[in-house]
Amino acid sequence: MPELPEVETIVRQLAPDIGNKRIKTIELLDPRFEDLETSAIDGARIVAVERLGKQIVISFARDSAILGAIAIHLRMSGRLIWIPEQKTKATSAPEFLRAASLKQEHCRARLQLEGGSLCFFDTRRFGTIKISDTRETFLPRGLDPFAKEFTAERFGELLSNSQQAVKVWLLRQDKLVGIGNIYACEILYAARVNPFLSVAKLSPKQIGLVHASTLSILNAAIENCGTTFSDFQDSHGELGSYQEFLKVYNRENEDCVGGCGEITRVSQQGRSTYYCSTCQK
Ligand SMILES: [Zn+2]
Protein backbone atom coordinates (compact mmCIF):
# COMPACT_ATOMS: atom_id res chain seq x y z
CA MET A 1 0.00 0.00 0.00
CA PRO A 2 1.39 3.44 -0.84
CA GLU A 3 2.65 5.35 2.17
CA LEU A 4 3.17 9.08 2.56
CA PRO A 5 6.19 9.40 0.19
CA GLU A 6 4.40 7.64 -2.68
CA VAL A 7 1.31 9.83 -2.34
CA GLU A 8 3.44 12.97 -1.99
CA THR A 9 5.32 11.96 -5.17
CA ILE A 10 2.05 11.72 -7.08
CA VAL A 11 0.76 15.04 -5.76
CA ARG A 12 3.98 16.91 -6.62
CA GLN A 13 3.82 15.56 -10.17
CA LEU A 14 0.11 16.12 -10.66
CA ALA A 15 -0.01 19.69 -9.36
CA PRO A 16 1.75 21.22 -12.41
CA ASP A 17 0.07 18.74 -14.79
CA ILE A 18 -3.54 19.40 -13.81
CA GLY A 19 -3.48 22.56 -11.64
CA ASN A 20 -5.71 25.37 -12.94
CA LYS A 21 -7.17 23.13 -15.69
CA ARG A 22 -10.89 23.13 -16.43
CA ILE A 23 -12.78 19.89 -15.82
CA LYS A 24 -14.89 18.93 -18.82
CA THR A 25 -16.54 16.01 -17.06
CA ILE A 26 -16.03 13.22 -14.55
CA GLU A 27 -16.75 9.64 -15.62
CA LEU A 28 -17.34 7.04 -12.92
CA LEU A 29 -16.83 3.61 -14.47
CA ASP A 30 -17.13 1.48 -11.32
CA PRO A 31 -20.60 0.77 -9.88
CA ARG A 32 -19.09 1.31 -6.40
CA PHE A 33 -18.91 5.03 -7.21
CA GLU A 34 -22.37 5.46 -8.72
CA ASP A 35 -23.83 7.25 -5.69
CA LEU A 36 -21.25 10.04 -5.75
CA GLU A 37 -22.70 13.52 -6.22
CA THR A 38 -20.82 14.92 -9.20
CA SER A 39 -23.08 17.70 -10.48
CA ALA A 40 -20.83 20.53 -9.22
CA ILE A 41 -17.73 19.16 -10.96
CA ASP A 42 -18.48 19.52 -14.68
CA GLY A 43 -17.11 22.82 -15.95
CA ALA A 44 -15.34 23.67 -12.70
CA ARG A 45 -11.63 24.54 -12.51
CA ILE A 46 -8.99 22.72 -10.45
CA VAL A 47 -7.62 25.15 -7.88
CA ALA A 48 -5.53 22.90 -5.62
CA VAL A 49 -3.93 19.46 -5.62
CA GLU A 50 -2.65 18.40 -2.24
CA ARG A 51 -1.86 15.45 -0.04
CA LEU A 52 -3.99 15.13 3.08
CA GLY A 53 -2.63 12.16 4.98
CA LYS A 54 -2.50 9.40 2.38
CA GLN A 55 -5.24 10.89 0.24
CA ILE A 56 -4.83 12.91 -2.95
CA VAL A 57 -7.28 15.80 -2.66
CA ILE A 58 -8.28 17.88 -5.69
CA SER A 59 -10.23 21.07 -4.93
CA PHE A 60 -12.39 22.63 -7.62
CA ALA A 61 -14.00 26.04 -8.00
CA ARG A 62 -16.10 28.14 -10.34
CA ASP A 63 -15.60 31.90 -10.62
CA SER A 64 -13.24 31.74 -7.61
CA ALA A 65 -15.97 30.19 -5.43
CA ILE A 66 -14.76 26.87 -4.02
CA LEU A 67 -17.35 24.23 -4.85
CA GLY A 68 -15.79 21.18 -3.30
CA ALA A 69 -13.05 18.57 -3.34
CA ILE A 70 -12.44 15.07 -4.63
CA ALA A 71 -10.41 12.75 -2.38
CA ILE A 72 -8.74 9.66 -3.83
CA HIS A 73 -7.25 6.93 -1.65
CA LEU A 74 -5.16 4.47 -3.65
CA ARG A 75 -5.27 1.61 -1.07
CA MET A 76 -3.70 -1.61 -2.42
CA SER A 77 -3.41 -1.21 -6.16
CA GLY A 78 -4.84 2.19 -7.15
CA ARG A 79 -2.89 4.38 -9.57
CA LEU A 80 -3.63 7.88 -10.67
CA ILE A 81 -2.19 8.50 -14.11
CA TRP A 82 -2.14 11.73 -16.09
CA ILE A 83 -2.51 11.04 -19.80
CA PRO A 84 -1.89 14.22 -21.83
CA GLU A 85 -3.98 14.65 -24.97
CA GLN A 86 -1.20 13.84 -27.45
CA LYS A 87 -0.91 10.41 -25.80
CA THR A 88 -4.63 9.68 -26.03
CA LYS A 89 -4.73 9.93 -29.83
CA ALA A 90 -5.49 6.55 -31.38
CA THR A 91 -1.99 5.24 -31.96
CA SER A 92 -0.20 6.22 -28.80
CA ALA A 93 -2.80 5.67 -26.02
CA PRO A 94 -2.63 1.84 -26.03
CA GLU A 95 1.15 2.05 -26.28
CA PHE A 96 1.30 4.35 -23.29
CA LEU A 97 -0.92 2.04 -21.25
CA ARG A 98 1.07 -1.03 -22.25
CA ALA A 99 4.35 0.62 -21.35
CA ALA A 100 2.94 1.43 -17.92
CA SER A 101 1.44 -2.09 -17.54
CA LEU A 102 -2.06 -0.62 -17.35
CA LYS A 103 -5.23 -2.05 -18.82
CA GLN A 104 -8.09 0.12 -20.02
CA GLU A 105 -10.64 -2.12 -18.29
CA HIS A 106 -9.03 -1.32 -14.93
CA CYS A 107 -9.81 2.37 -15.34
CA ARG A 108 -12.43 3.00 -12.62
CA ALA A 109 -12.87 6.74 -13.01
CA ARG A 110 -11.70 9.48 -15.30
CA LEU A 111 -11.53 13.24 -15.04
CA GLN A 112 -11.65 14.66 -18.57
CA LEU A 113 -9.68 17.89 -18.42
CA GLU A 114 -8.64 20.40 -21.01
CA GLY A 115 -5.37 18.99 -22.36
CA GLY A 116 -5.77 15.41 -21.21
CA SER A 117 -7.37 13.05 -18.77
CA LEU A 118 -6.62 11.93 -15.23
CA CYS A 119 -7.36 8.22 -14.94
CA PHE A 120 -7.82 6.22 -11.78
CA PHE A 121 -6.71 2.65 -12.46
CA ASP A 122 -7.36 0.03 -9.83
CA THR A 123 -7.02 -3.70 -10.51
CA ARG A 124 -8.11 -4.91 -7.07
CA ARG A 125 -10.76 -2.21 -6.49
CA PHE A 126 -9.96 -1.34 -2.87
CA GLY A 127 -9.26 2.28 -3.78
CA THR A 128 -11.83 4.91 -2.88
CA ILE A 129 -13.12 8.17 -4.33
CA LYS A 130 -15.04 10.61 -2.15
CA ILE A 131 -16.53 13.98 -3.01
CA SER A 132 -17.41 16.69 -0.53
CA ASP A 133 -18.31 20.36 -0.68
CA THR A 134 -15.24 21.14 1.44
CA ARG A 135 -11.68 19.79 1.64
CA GLU A 136 -11.87 20.00 5.44
CA THR A 137 -13.95 16.79 5.33
CA PHE A 138 -10.78 14.98 4.35
CA LEU A 139 -8.39 16.32 6.99
CA PRO A 140 -6.81 13.33 8.76
CA ARG A 141 -6.98 12.88 12.53
CA GLY A 142 -3.27 12.30 12.96
CA LEU A 143 -0.52 14.92 12.69
CA ASP A 144 1.28 15.11 9.35
CA PRO A 145 5.06 14.55 9.72
CA PHE A 146 5.64 17.47 7.32
CA ALA A 147 3.44 19.88 9.27
CA LYS A 148 5.47 22.58 11.02
CA GLU A 149 3.83 21.49 14.31
CA PHE A 150 5.72 18.19 14.06
CA THR A 151 8.65 19.11 16.33
CA ALA A 152 10.61 16.74 18.57
CA GLU A 153 8.77 18.26 21.53
CA ARG A 154 5.33 17.69 19.98
CA PHE A 155 6.39 14.17 19.01
CA GLY A 156 7.26 13.50 22.66
CA GLU A 157 3.81 14.72 23.72
CA LEU A 158 2.10 12.48 21.17
CA LEU A 159 4.05 9.49 22.49
CA SER A 160 3.09 10.06 26.12
CA ASN A 161 0.46 7.89 27.79
CA SER A 162 1.18 4.91 25.57
CA GLN A 163 2.82 1.58 26.43
CA GLN A 164 2.84 0.34 22.84
CA ALA A 165 5.96 -0.90 21.12
CA VAL A 166 7.44 1.98 19.15
CA LYS A 167 7.10 0.20 15.78
CA VAL A 168 3.41 -0.49 16.41
CA TRP A 169 2.90 3.11 17.56
CA LEU A 170 4.47 4.55 14.40
CA LEU A 171 1.78 2.82 12.32
CA ARG A 172 -1.05 4.53 14.23
CA GLN A 173 -2.71 6.86 11.75
CA ASP A 174 -4.63 8.63 14.54
CA LYS A 175 -1.29 9.86 15.96
CA LEU A 176 1.06 10.40 13.02
CA VAL A 177 -0.37 10.08 9.55
CA GLY A 178 1.18 8.41 6.51
CA ILE A 179 3.79 6.03 7.92
CA GLY A 180 3.31 2.38 6.99
CA ASN A 181 5.30 -0.77 7.53
CA ILE A 182 8.19 -0.07 5.16
CA TYR A 183 9.09 3.35 6.52
CA ALA A 184 8.43 2.46 10.18
CA CYS A 185 11.13 -0.24 9.89
CA GLU A 186 13.53 2.09 8.09
CA ILE A 187 12.99 4.99 10.51
CA LEU A 188 13.77 2.83 13.55
CA TYR A 189 16.86 1.39 11.91
CA ALA A 190 18.11 4.89 11.08
CA ALA A 191 17.48 5.92 14.71
CA ARG A 192 19.06 2.68 16.03
CA VAL A 193 15.99 2.07 18.19
CA ASN A 194 14.64 -1.42 18.91
CA PRO A 195 11.18 -1.79 17.33
CA PHE A 196 9.89 -3.70 20.35
CA LEU A 197 10.84 -1.01 22.87
CA SER A 198 7.81 0.49 24.62
CA VAL A 199 7.38 4.16 23.75
CA ALA A 200 7.15 4.83 27.51
CA LYS A 201 10.80 3.73 27.75
CA LEU A 202 12.17 5.94 24.98
CA SER A 203 14.79 8.35 26.31
CA PRO A 204 14.57 12.03 25.29
CA LYS A 205 17.61 11.39 23.08
CA GLN A 206 15.88 8.45 21.37
CA ILE A 207 12.73 10.52 20.84
CA GLY A 208 14.89 13.14 19.13
CA LEU A 209 16.53 10.48 16.96
CA VAL A 210 13.24 8.88 15.89
CA HIS A 211 11.82 12.35 15.12
CA ALA A 212 14.84 13.32 13.00
CA SER A 213 14.89 9.93 11.25
CA THR A 214 11.20 10.19 10.41
CA LEU A 215 11.87 13.40 8.49
CA SER A 216 15.11 12.26 6.85
CA ILE A 217 13.76 8.87 5.73
CA LEU A 218 10.51 10.29 4.35
CA ASN A 219 12.36 13.10 2.56
CA ALA A 220 14.85 10.69 1.01
CA ALA A 221 11.99 8.47 -0.16
CA ILE A 222 10.21 11.43 -1.77
CA GLU A 223 13.43 12.43 -3.53
CA ASN A 224 13.54 8.95 -5.02
CA CYS A 225 9.86 9.00 -5.96
CA GLY A 226 8.70 6.46 -3.43
CA THR A 227 9.24 2.76 -3.11
CA THR A 228 8.07 0.24 -5.64
CA PHE A 229 6.53 -2.66 -3.79
CA SER A 230 3.18 -4.06 -4.84
CA ASP A 231 3.83 -2.24 -8.12
CA PHE A 232 3.62 1.40 -7.11
CA GLN A 233 3.75 3.80 -10.03
CA ASP A 234 3.82 7.56 -10.03
CA SER A 235 1.36 9.65 -12.05
CA HIS A 236 3.49 9.31 -15.18
CA GLY A 237 3.49 5.52 -14.94
CA GLU A 238 7.12 5.41 -13.76
CA LEU A 239 8.38 3.16 -10.98
CA GLY A 240 9.88 4.59 -7.78
CA SER A 241 13.48 3.80 -6.88
CA TYR A 242 13.71 4.08 -3.09
CA GLN A 243 13.68 0.29 -2.67
CA GLU A 244 17.35 0.41 -3.71
CA PHE A 245 18.06 2.38 -0.55
CA LEU A 246 16.16 0.25 1.98
CA LYS A 247 18.44 -0.88 4.82
CA VAL A 248 16.23 -3.42 6.58
CA TYR A 249 12.80 -3.77 4.97
CA ASN A 250 12.43 -6.98 2.93
CA ARG A 251 16.11 -7.86 3.65
CA GLU A 252 15.67 -10.85 5.97
CA ASN A 253 18.92 -12.83 6.41
CA GLU A 254 20.88 -10.27 4.39
CA ASP A 255 23.85 -8.52 5.97
CA CYS A 256 23.23 -5.37 7.96
CA VAL A 257 24.98 -2.51 6.17
CA GLY A 258 26.74 -1.82 9.48
CA GLY A 259 28.59 -5.12 8.99
CA CYS A 260 27.43 -6.48 12.36
CA GLY A 261 25.18 -9.38 11.45
CA GLU A 262 22.02 -10.31 9.58
CA ILE A 263 18.68 -8.58 9.35
CA THR A 264 15.94 -10.35 11.31
CA ARG A 265 12.26 -10.52 10.42
CA VAL A 266 9.79 -10.96 13.26
CA SER A 267 6.00 -10.84 13.10
CA GLN A 268 4.78 -8.00 15.30
CA GLN A 269 1.01 -7.65 15.63
CA GLY A 270 0.55 -9.47 12.34
CA ARG A 271 2.99 -7.29 10.36
CA SER A 272 6.59 -8.13 9.47
CA THR A 273 9.14 -6.11 11.41
CA TYR A 274 12.66 -6.05 9.95
CA TYR A 275 15.56 -4.92 12.13
CA CYS A 276 19.17 -5.52 13.10
CA SER A 277 19.29 -6.99 16.60
CA THR A 278 22.85 -5.70 17.00
CA CYS A 279 22.41 -2.09 15.85
CA GLN A 280 18.95 -1.83 17.40
CA LYS A 281 19.51 -3.37 20.82
ZN1 LIG B 1 23.44 -3.81 12.32
Digit-by-digit pLDDT tens for the chain (281 residues) are 788 988 999 999 999 999 999 999 999 999 999 999 999 999 999 999 999 999 999 999 999 899 999 999 999 889 999 988 876 565 466 677 776 778 888 999 999 999 999 999 999 999 999 999 999 999 999 999 999 999 999 999 999 999 999 999 999 999 999 999 999 999 999 999 999 999 999 999 999 999 999 999 999 988 887 665 545 677 777 777 777 789 999 999 999 998 999 999 999 999 999 999 999 99
Same domain membership, residue 215 and residue 240: yes
CA distance 123 to 100: 13
Same domain membership, residue 8 and residue 134: yes
Same domain membership, residue 128 and residue 182: no
For residue 130, how far is its CA from the centre of ligand 1 (angstroms)?
44
For residue 35, how far is its CA from the centre of ligand 1 (angstroms)?
52
Cβ atoms of 49 and 67 within 8 Å: the answer is no
Select from 138, 167, 190 the last residue of a domain. 138
Same domain membership, residue 176 and residue 133: no
Cβ count within 10 A of residue 103: 11
Please report, as a single letter, which amino acid is at residue 74: L
Residue 148 falls in the annotated catalytic set: no
With respect to residue 46, please indicate whether it lies within any of the assigned structural domains. yes
With respect to residue 57, please indicate whether it lies within any of the assigned structural domains. yes
Domain extent at residue 87 = 4-138
Domain containing residue 175: CATH number = 1.10.8.50
Same domain membership, residue 134 and residue 87: yes
For residue 188, how far is its CA from the centre of ligand 1 (angstroms)?
12
Phi, psi of 223 (to 5 degrees): -60, -30
Cβ atoms of 59 and 71 within 8 Å: the answer is no
Same domain membership, residue 183 and residue 128: no
Q: Identify the pLDDT of residue 230.
A: 44
3-state DSSP helix/strand/coil % of the chain, to nearest 5: 30, 30, 40
Q: What is the mean pLDDT of the chain?
A: 91
With respect to residue 207, please indicate whether it lies within any of the assigned structural domains. yes
Same domain membership, residue 131 and residue 178: no
Nearest to 49 by CA among 28, 27, 78, 19: 19
Report the domain count for the chain: 2
Same domain membership, residue 163 and residue 132: no
For residue 202, how far is its CA from the centre of ligand 1 (angstroms)?
20
For residue 274, how far is its CA from the centre of ligand 1 (angstroms)?
11
CB within 8 A of 103, min separation 6: which ones? 97, 121, 123
Same domain membership, residue 92 and residue 58: yes
With respect to residue 146, please indicate whether it lies within any of the assigned structural domains. no
Same domain membership, residue 99 and residue 176: no
Same domain membership, residue 96 and residue 179: no
Q: Which of 3, 6, 8, 186 is catalytic?
A: 3
With respect to residue 131, please indicate whether it lies within any of the assigned structural domains. yes
With respect to residue 144, please indicate whether it lies within any of the assigned structural domains. no
Residue 3 falls in the annotated catalytic set: yes
Residue 223 falls in the annotated catalytic set: no
With respect to residue 174, please indicate whether it lies within any of the assigned structural domains. yes
For residue 249, how far is its CA from the centre of ligand 1 (angstroms)?
13
Residue 167 falls in the annotated catalytic set: no
With respect to residue 145, please indicate whether it lies within any of the assigned structural domains. no
Q: Which of 45, 54, 167, 251 is catalytic?
A: 54
Same domain membership, residue 117 and residue 196: no
Question: The pTM is what?
Answer: 0.88
Q: Which of 32, 130, 192, 271 is catalytic?
A: 271
Select from 138, 173, 195 the last residue of a domain. 138
Indicate the helix (H) or strand (E) that contains 219. helix 204-223
- DSSP classification of residue 104: G
Distances (CA, A) of 131 to 29, 38, 42, 241: 15, 8, 13, 32
